[in-house]
Amino acid sequence: MAIRDIVTVPEKVLREKARKVTSFGAELQTLIDDMVDTMRAAPGVGLAAPQVNVPLRVIVVEFNDSEDEEKPPKLYLVVNPKITRFSSEQEMGTEGCLSIPRILGDVERSESVTVKGLNRHGQPQKIKATGWLARIFQHEVDHLDGVLFVDRAEKVWQIEGETTQIAPAD
């Protein structure tokens, strides 16, 4: 397992549609393990394969949606994720992204979603997520379609640090 470099805007891979995973061999297993290590080291709560310069439909998410601070966060590994249900209830929230350092934005997203995909061994899985976990899944799945949170944001601002150039959507 290794920590990979996280690519940042305006890197082209962040604006491309990622390819569907068709092979569940050792290369995919290494990618998933590296993505988890990279996400944790960043630190972040989610990471999509294009963010480590791999144009495949793979996301990792780690988040504790429990009120219990003692409970460890749950790790989700999803290959070829697809959001099959979006709630009609929307909620505004502030998002950031490891690929757009020092930029935050207010984004309206569905309060709950259902995500279908495959686990790391190719077995089907379905995840029902609400609140911040739903937001994280929407953010990460957007990455697989070349969509960045700034594309959906109503308001974007820079926090302390260097200026970051945001690449326009194609």
Instruction: Dihedral sign for Cα 85, 60, 100, 51, please.
Output: negative
Q: What is the pLDDT of residues 120-135, one digit of tens each?
A: 999 999 999 999 999 9
pLDDT value for 161:
61
Catalytic residue (one of 67, 95, 111, 140): 140
Average pLDDT over residues 71-75: 92
Kindly list the strands in the beta sheet with 100-110, ordered across the sheet, starting from the edge strand earlier in the chain: 90-97, 100-110, 153-158
Q: Using the predicted structure, report yes or no on whether residue 168 has a pLDDT greater than 60.
A: no
Q: pLDDT band at 160, cuts 50/70/90?
A: confident
The DSSP code for 6 is: P
Domain boundaries, the chain: 12-158
Q: Using the predicted structure, report yes or no on whether residue 66 has a pLDDT greater than 90.
A: no
140 is an active site residue: yes
Residue 63: how many other CB atoms lie within 10 Å: 18
Enter the pTM of the model. Answer: 0.91
What is the average pLDDT value for the chain, to the nearest integer?
93
Q: What is the pLDDT of residues 74-108, one digit of tens each?
A: 999 999 999 999 999 999 999 999 999 999 999 99
pLDDT value for 12:
97
pLDDT value for 114:
98
Reported CATH class of domain 12-158: alpha beta
In sequence order, which residues have a C-beta less than 8 Å from that of residue 139 and are 6 or more positions away? Answer: 46, 95, 97, 107, 109, 149
